[in-house]
Structure 1
Amino acid sequence: MAWMGARRFSDLVAHIESDPERRSRVDALEQAAWEALAAHDLRELRRAREMTQAELARRLDRAQPAVAAMREPMTTWCPQSEQW
């Protein structure tokens, strides 16, 4: 049984690539997803180890506000994220 409305992935990608506005929206959504994932992962890892931001900052030899800023968009604390 064929899926109604099923499309090949390559067709979907071509549709996105052919429209600069759509491509821009997809890129923005992708960036937001990476930022949310990074913030969530750091918070969850820190909580799983029962560490405060201050404790993590001390271990990283950083100030506590720097650790708090890691919950902000990845590009503010991880320049390599631009490569993703």
Structure 2
Amino acid sequence: GADYIGVGPIFSTQTKEDVCAPVGLNYLDYVAKNVHIPFVAIGGIKRETLPQVLAHGAKTVCLVTEIIGAEDIGQRVREIQAIITFSGAQA
């Protein structure tokens, strides 16, 4: 009965304590092909890895540390939006 699920952590993350080991891009592939409700890819995703995550089927992503740790948060969000737009996914 869930409306959506979180998938991750995709990569290693320090945002939360006691988090499980990264599930990786192969697991994201599995979810994209087999889960028929929306999902959010989360965990250790950075600007540099975002194109990979999107290419592996994520349509919705969560980048916490990448945004809140930025010197210029507005600029960082615009950079992330540009990556998402370029990939053809929706922001």
TM superposition score normalised by structure 1: 0.30
The structure showing larger relative contact order (alpha-carbon pairs under 8 Å, at least 6 residues apart) is: 2
Q: Name the structure with the higher helix share.
A: 1
Structure with the bigger percentage of strand? 2
TM-score (norm 2): 0.28
